[in-house]
Amino acid sequence: MESQMPAERLLPDTESEDLVALAREIAREELAPVAAEYEEAERFPRDQFRLLGKSGLLGLPYSERWGGGEVPYETYLQALEEIAAAWMSVGVGLSVHTMSCFALAHYGTDEQRDRWLPAMLGGELLGAYALSESHAGSDAAALSTRARLDGDRYVVNGTKAWITAGGQADFYTTMVRTSDDPASGGKGVSCLLVDASTPGLSAGAPNGRWG
Ligand SMILES: Cc1cc2nc3c(=O)[nH]c(=O)nc-3n(C[C@H](O)[C@H](O)[C@H](O)COP(=O)(O)OP(=O)(O)OC[C@H]3O[C@@H](n4cnc5c(N)ncnc54)[C@H](O)[C@@H]3O)c2cc1C
């Protein structure tokens, strides 16, 4: 039996109302009709992420300068809710992709942002967020993936777990240990943007569904 709770959305302005309405329309017309079929076939919904990117829904909280929506989090989260209500794992993928853009959007140089962000926010490049490890879930600061500077490059050694879009993403926003000083704790962790084509990077078979 299907039951529905009435909900009234509180949004800050008409632009936000239009964006959430767009998310609802895409969710109902493009995602819901194919969700069961894709899940059954364990097929990765890459075209659907491209559609979300082209529709402006993959970079909602980020600056318009690089193609983002520049809307408040309350708008982004309500658009995400509409997508997740139609297809939960696309909702998870959308939220992880948005999170994977955060470090570059907030801490990258303009040169780095000009190079990567438009394609990331526009859906041409799909992102993954590689923080968790088999022994470092909630306790993320216990991660042991190590990055060592070798000339002007980092060499990274380690294994991540539960990485949404692992093996499908175009880039991995990856948390690595750059200091072994026990006193450094979480401060010994750095964030690297790793291109999926980096030699030596590989993904195991998905554990269950693609998320
Ligand atoms: C669908 C899905 C997608 C995910 N995608 C990603 C991803 O893209 N990238 C990524 O890096 N990770 C991802 N994760 C991993 C996720 O972010 C968590 O790190 C991981 O699920 C939690 O780790 P754990 O299973 O080892 O649980 P634990 O950390 O062992 O926790 C087990 C339980 O103990 C509780 N607990 C933990 N510490 C404490 C404490 N100090 N006090 C009280 N209670 C505590 C927790 O709330 C939980 O209920 C994903 C997980 C899921 C389920």
Which ligand 1 atom is the nearest neighbour of the CA of 137? 23
Distance (angstroms) between ligand 1 centre and the Cα of 162 equals: 9
Sign of the Cα torsion 130, 132, 138, 142 reads: negative
Structural domains of the chain, ranges and CATH numbers in brackets: 14-121 (1.10.540.10), 127-195 (2.40.110.10)
What's the confidence (pLDDT) of residue 1?
A: 55
Instruction: Work out whether strand 171-177 and strand 153-157 pair parallel, antiparallel, or are unpaired.
Output: unpaired
Ligand 1, CB cutoff 6 Å, lining residues: 92, 96, 129-132, 137-138, 162-164, 211
Q: What is the pLDDT of residue 210?
A: 46
Q: What pLDDT does 208 receive?
A: 56
**Residue 205: predicted pLDDT:** 84
Residue nearest to atom 19 of ligand 1 (CA): 137
Ligand 1 center to 56 CA (angstroms): 30
Neighbours of 127 (CB within 10 A): 28
Query: What sign does the dihedral 116-121-125-130 (CA atoms) show?
Result: positive
> For 16-52, what is each residue's pLDDT tens digit?
999 999 999 999 999 999 999 999 999 999 999 999 9
- Look at residue 185 in the predicted model and tell me its pLDDT: 58
Specify the pLDDT at position 186.
60
Instruction: List the chain residues with pLDDT less than 70.
Output: 1-3, 182, 184-186, 207-211
